[in-house]
Every structure is written in structure tokens, then in C-alpha cells.
Structure 1
Amino acid sequence: MRQEQWDAFKKAAKREAVDSVPLALIVDSPWMPGYVGINHLDYFLDPEAWFQANLKVASDFPEVIPFPSWWMEYGMAIEPSSMGARISFVADQPPSQHATLRRLDDLDGMVPIDPWRDGFMSLALHRYKMQKQRIFDAGYIIPVVAARGPLCTAGFVHDVNSLMMNILDDSAGVHRLLSFVTDGIIAWLKAQAEAIGPCVEGIFVLDDVVGFLSRDAYNEFAAPYLKRICDAFPREWVKVYHNDASIKQFLDDLPDTGFDVLNFSHKVDIAEAARRTGGRMTLMGNVSPLDLGVRGTPEAVKAAALDVLRKTEGRNLILSLGGGVSPGMPAENIRALVDAIRTFEANR
């Protein structure tokens, strides 16, 4: 994103007055290779293909804030690859992860994560250092660093079903695992900020597995670790949380973690989310990414976006999808979101 885009996003995230409602979309490897016409292996492994893909998206949609901006990611593989999971690559989709931590007792043999040496973290950090000056010279910045969250990462390492069962059967072991992965996530976010430099002013944490928990389980097994991540970074930084699974059961509690922005599913009405978060979070959402973003007409996308804008009156809002840009979303549907903001602002 450009500096002025980040300034607008940051103001909205901190619930300050903005001239216009920002439009930000999570763009990453599920959607971007298909949009630019390359396969996923080239996107992940060819630095020039990655750079040109990100540049094309930024150039094609100048009104859109690409979030988190020039994201060096390998699907969801970076964090689990550094904690022992097996990663499988194919040509036409992001890599998959295979859990290898079968017994929680085996945590005793695992050493703390070193992002500069372990798994795909080390490769991504090297790529950031190689590419950042070229990105800056093109007129863009990298203000946000990103990571998968504690439950998501623990699920990749230990298997989600095993994790859910052990929440009931071995809660102490699950807490040990979550503490281990949370320490690794914090180290990973800090290493990215160090590699990129002082333009970094925000973190982005994605964790859908939290949505599998009840409210009580959320407050025991998710909230303390999400809060630990937020507390590890300066108060003035922008902190964004993504969960497009279920959040209704703990929506009232989410602001206590310290996140400024919530990106959430279209299955939660934005008026309800605004009421239950009590103005303590900026809402980033929440047009349906598949039924409308991919399969809908531009007219339907615009109508849904206008509904979001009207229900919130454009306050404490960053217009977005209820999740990331999904594979196959056409350019005209992205431009329909831009058009919705223009229409809303013209009639305000």
C-alpha cells in the first residue's frame, strides 16, 4: 500500500475521523496467482513473479488498500513449517500442512523457535530483505507484519481434531502447546518488523480455529494468548484480528484482547457486531466473499456493500469482504466495492 493509504487505514483503525471510509481487502496467495495468470509454485518460488503480481494488483486497484501489503507468505505454511509440521506443495493451490506432533508430551523435546533459521520463516525474512528497497522505490510501504494465530498454528502442528479433544482431555498440555506457539508467533512478528524496518506500525493475526470454541473455552484457551501477542507490541501500533469462522459466542469479549480491528464473517450482521463490540473495535467487513465476491454480480456486490455502509453510517468501519479475496473473484466485483463507497459518500 501507499503511505497515504496506510494513514487512512491507521486513522480508521484507531477510530479517528477520516475523510472517506477506507476500502481494504486481504489479498494473498489463494487469489493472487490466479488473478495475474501464474501458478502457485511460481508465485511462491520466483521472486520476480511475486513482485510483479503484487505490483499489478496495487496498480489495477489504486483505490483499494491491499492488506497487509506486499505479504511474504506461503499460504498457511510458514508458522507450522518452523514448528515441525510437514508441508506439501502443488502447482495450482497454496501448500497444505500435515501435523506431526502426535503427543503433547513430545513438546519437551522442542526448542524455542528461531525465525531467522527455522522453516519458511527464514526464507520469508530473507525475501523481505531482498525485496523491500525495490518495493519502497516503487512508491509503496510495508506497514504491517502478519502471522497465523495460536489456535490455528497449534492445530496445524498437533492436528485440529486432536487439539479440540485435548482441550477436554489434557488442558494443561494444550496450554503448554499454546504458550510455545505464542512465543514463536511473537518472535516471528518481531523478526519481520526487524527485517522490514521502521515503516512497520502494525500486526495482523489470523486465527479461524478460535471460532470452534465456546465462550468459556475462548476465555481460557484463546483470549490470554491473543492478548499476549497484542501486549508484545507498542500500544500505538495498529492490531488487526481476522476470524471468518464463528465469533458470536465471544464477540462481546474480543475487544479486551487489545486488537483495534476485527475482520469477520458476513454471517454476523455488522449492526450486531457494532453493538456488541461497543465502539471499542473498528469493523473490517463484511460483504460475502464467496456468494457475492466470487459468484455475485457487480450490482449485488455494490448493494451488499451499501448495506454495510448504511448500517454503520460509515463509522468505525473499514469496508471489506467478510474474509480474504477468494480464488476467482473478478476485477469488476472489486470495483463494485469502490463504486459503493463513492455512492455512499455522495449521498451522505
Structure 2
Amino acid sequence: MTPRERVLRALNHEVPDRIPLDLGTTNCTTLTRKAYENLKVYLGIQKETHLMMENFQIVFVDEEVLNILDIDTRGIHPTPRPKQRVVDERTYYNEFGIKYHMPEGGLYYDMVEHPLAGKTLEELKDYEWPDPRNSMDLTGVREKAIALSQEGKYFLVGDMIDTGIFEPCWYLRGFENFLVDLMCNVDFATALLERMYEYQLQRYTLFLKECGEFLDAIFVGDDLATAESTIMSPKTYRDIVKPYHKEYFKNLKKMAPRAKLLYHSCGSIAPFLPDLIEIGVDILNPVQVSAQGMDTKTLKERFGKDLCFWGAIDTTFVLPRGTEEDVRQEVRRRIDDLGPEGYVLCAVHDIQPDVPPQNIVAMYDEARRYGVFL
């Protein structure tokens, strides 16, 4: 099978020749800068690193690395424009006016100011939203999509980067503030969700105009859970957030008619899976196996007929702290639980700086060795 055929079979709930592999197709399935640079040294590759997201310090993965690890997927992305106003070498404001700062010796930028904190509904109406066209550089996106589509070898995933509706609302408002809004200030919450939905749909419309016809999957990342529980009750989700997700997903599928919807939420997301399936989610990422209620065997039994799984190799304990044999055992367990159909293997979220490169290589090597079916 070609890599694209392999992934398509798995996502169509058919048994592929082997477990498909992903790395780097989305901003939630790549590596942090330090982890990537360590991996390149380990593999003997000398090439400049290019960042996908400044705040999280995550990278675009080079073709040489993808070929060495035998990755079946390829990502289609714009070039982000994260820094709208630089304060100093460790501090900047993005297009929304959110202030980011990296502590000395830190590995990431943290949000330290939320521009809508303390604002009223009337003040929200006066907030000046950024121009979607200025959030990303689409140069070369169509050309890359056409070239990869004509080659026909790889499964193509489109991720315009920063794709959520719920998460960006609390980025603007502050996490605690927005959760209070959902309970006590619903008019503000819905007004902000409405505007964020419109903004993100405008961005994805621009992106998918360039490449939507060529994509096999579209990515949306919008965390709804922590490691212990969902962030809000199912009723709050259904009453307030879900209607916006429903319209968003429906419109994305119209603009990329052959693409499956790859949805990312970290944490204990299982209580929301029936709702997400109902509104068009085809694939769940990252399958955070260390979170409450995210046992992979149970997830497959409950949702495997309607949902595919993408991720599931533990990044909390096994990849950073385990031996190579621990990693191989983890890979075998997840393939047994989630395969042979309906599963694409990669790490739970982005590979962090403390993950040894030999464990990354062992993960993909074991998947190619153990996950063979035909």
C-alpha cells in the first residue's frame, strides 16, 4: 500500500497493511524545538529549524526526518505571523493583544496579559478584532498541496494553526474569567464565542480556498478537558459551546468535501465523545492515555465503530522516562487496544524537550515492526 492508502484504509475502519504513522502534520503532533534538535543530531541531520508556533516553540518537521521514520502523513500549513508587537527578546504581543513572556531559562512563552479581562459586554462590542488575512502567510500553500496531491503518495492533513473557538476565548478573557462567564455571564460568553467562530471561519475560508480540495483531513484543536475531568459540564457544553462547534465543523467539511475532521482535545474528553461524533468529528487526537477515563481498550470498545483514534503513545511517563523497551511495550499495547483498523499512531501531543531521541526512534521502529497486519 502507499502511505495514503494505508491511512485511508485505517480511517475507513478497514485493516491496513500496517499501522499508519504521523509526525508533524499538525501543531499538536509535532515536536518542541529542543526535542527536534536533539533528534536531528541523533539522526545525523544538519538543517535549520523552523518554528510552527512561537509561543509553544514547536517545529515544522523536515522531509529528511519524515522519510527516515517512514511517516505516512504530510501537513499543509500556512506560515504563521505570531509576533505583532515585540517588547524585548522574551516578550511580545500577538494579533489579539495577548501578551506573551518567556521566563529566563524557560522553554515556552506564557500568556501574562489577557486583553478582555475585566471588560463588559459593551466594551466587548468595541474590541477591535484582528484582520484574519494578517494572521498567516498563505504563500506557497496551494503549490505544495497541488504537488503532493499529484504525487498521490501521502495522506494530506490541513492545519491552519490556532484553529479553536473555545480556547481562544479564554486566551482573550482569562481562563477563570471565561469559565465564570459560562455560568454567570452567558451573554458575554456567547457574544465572544460568536465573534471567535466568525473570525476562525474567515481564517479557515482563506486557507481552504487555497488547498481544501486536496486535503484528506482537516485539523481543529480546541481543548475541552483537563487530565482529571472535562472543563465544563456536559450541559454547559451542549447549551453554549456545542452549537458553535457544530456550525464550524459543518462549514469546514463543505469547504474540504473529501476531508475527514481530525479533532484535538487533551484530557479526560470521553464524556463529550458522543456529542463530538454527533456533530461531525471523525478522528480523536491526542488520546491522552494518562488522563482520567481514557483507557484505550475501553475507548475502542465504546466508540470504535464511530470514531478513529490518532495518537495515544504516552508522553507523560513512558516517552520521557521509560527505557527503549518500555516505549516498545507501550507501542504494542496501544496497537493491540486501538488497532488494527481506526488507528494512526503518534505521541500524545507534541514531543517535549525531555524525551530522548532514541525513544522517538524506538516508538516508530516498533510500530513498523509490530503493527503489521497484511
- Equivalent residues of 1:31, 1:329 under 8 A apart: no
Number of aligned positions between the proteins: 330
Alignment match, 1:218: 237
1:24–1:51 CA distance, 2 compared to 1 (3 A)? closer
Residue of 261, 281, 301 corresponding to 2:307: 281
Is the Cα contact below 8 Å between 1:240 and 1:261 reproduced in 2? yes
Residue 254 of structure 1, aligned match among 276, 279, 284: 276
Query: Is 1:43 paired with 2:50?
Result: yes
Following TM superposition, by how much is the alpha carbon of 1:4 offset from its aligned partner in structure 2, in angstroms? 4.6
Task: Describe the SS at the equivalent of 2:166.
Answer: helix
Unaligned runs of 5+ in 2: 41-47, 53-57, 85-92
* Distance verdict in 2 for CA 1:73–1:166, change over 3 Å: same
Query: Displacement of 1:285 after TM fit?
Result: 2.6
1:228 alignment partner in structure 2: 247
CA contact (8 A) 1:75 1:95 kept: no
Closer/same/farther in 2, CA of residues 346 and 316 from structure 1, 3 Å limit: closer
For the residue of structure 1 that corresponds to 2:311, the secondary structure is strand
Task: Evaluate the alpha carbon distance shift between residue 169 and residue 86 of structure 1 in structure 2; reply closer, same or farther with a 3 A threshold.
Answer: same
- The 3-state SS of whatever aligns with 2:159 is strand
**How far apart, in 2, do the equivalents of 1:69 and 1:9 lie?**
16
8 A Cα contact 2:315 2:347, kept in partner: yes
> Could you say what the CA RMSD is over the residues aligned between the two structures, in angstroms?
3.6
What TM-score, normalized to structure 2? 0.75
1:231-274 CA distance string (max 9 Å, x none) = 01235312111112221332333211211110121131112212
Check the 8 A contact 2:213/2:258 in 1, yes or no. no
Is structure 2 residue 350 aligned with structure 1 residue 328?
no
Change in Cα spacing, 1:89 to 1:14, as seen in structure 2 (3 Å) is farther
**1:259 and 1:281 in contact (8 A); partners too:** yes
Once the 2 structures are TM-superposed, how far is the Cα of residue 230 of structure 1 from its aligned partner? 1.1
Q: Which amino acid aligns with 1:274?
A: K
Shift of the 136–92 alpha-carbon distance from structure 1 to 2, 3 Å rule, reads: farther
Measured in 2, the distance between the counterparts of 1:244 and 1:101 equals 25
Query: For residue 242 of structure 1, what is the aligned residue in structure 2?
Result: 264
Taking a change above 3 Å as real, the CA distance of residues 194 and 180 of structure 1, as seen in their structure-2 partners, is same
1:162 aligns with 2:177: yes
Higher relative contact order (CA 8 A, sep 6+): 2
Structure 2 counterpart of 1:54, one-letter code? D
Alignment of 1:61-210 (within 5 A): 61=69, 63-65=70-72, 68=75, 72-73=79-80, 81-88=94-101, 93-97=107-111, 98-102=113-117, 103-105=119-121, 106-110=123-127, 114-117=131-134, 121=135, 124-125=136-137, 128-130=138-140, 133=143, 143-146=157-160, 147-196=162-211, 198-210=213-225
| Contiguous gaps of at least 5 residues in structure 1 | none
Q: Secondary structure at the match of 2:284?
A: strand
In the alignment, which residue of structure 2 is the partner of 1:19? 17
Quick check: 1:143–1:199 contact (8 Å CA) kept in 2?
Answer: no
CA contact (8 A) 1:76 1:148 kept: no
Amino acid at match of 2:62: N
In structure 1, the partner of 2:327 is: 301
Distance of aligned partners of 1:315 and 1:52 in 2 relative to their CA distance in 1, 3 Å threshold: closer
User: Which amino acid in structure 2 is aligned with residue 31 of structure 1?
Assistant: T
1:265 pairs, out of 288, 293, 296, with 288
Partner of residue 312, structure 1? 338
Cα distance change of structure 1 residues 44 and 132 upon mapping to structure 2, 3 Å threshold: farther
Letter in 1 for 2:71: V
Deviations 1:300-328 (A, max 9, x none): 11101111111234121112222222223
Distance 1:93 1:199, change over 3 A: farther
SS in 2 for 1:129: coil
For 2:205 and 2:102, the matched residues in 1 are separated by: 27
Task: Give the Cα separation in 1 of the matches to 2:324 and 2:12.
Answer: 31
Alpha-carbon distance change, 184 to 82 in structure 1, aligned in 2, over 3 angstroms: farther
Deviations 1:26-53 (A, max 9, x none): 5657614542269xx97349xxxx9985
Structure 1 letter corresponding to 2:32: W
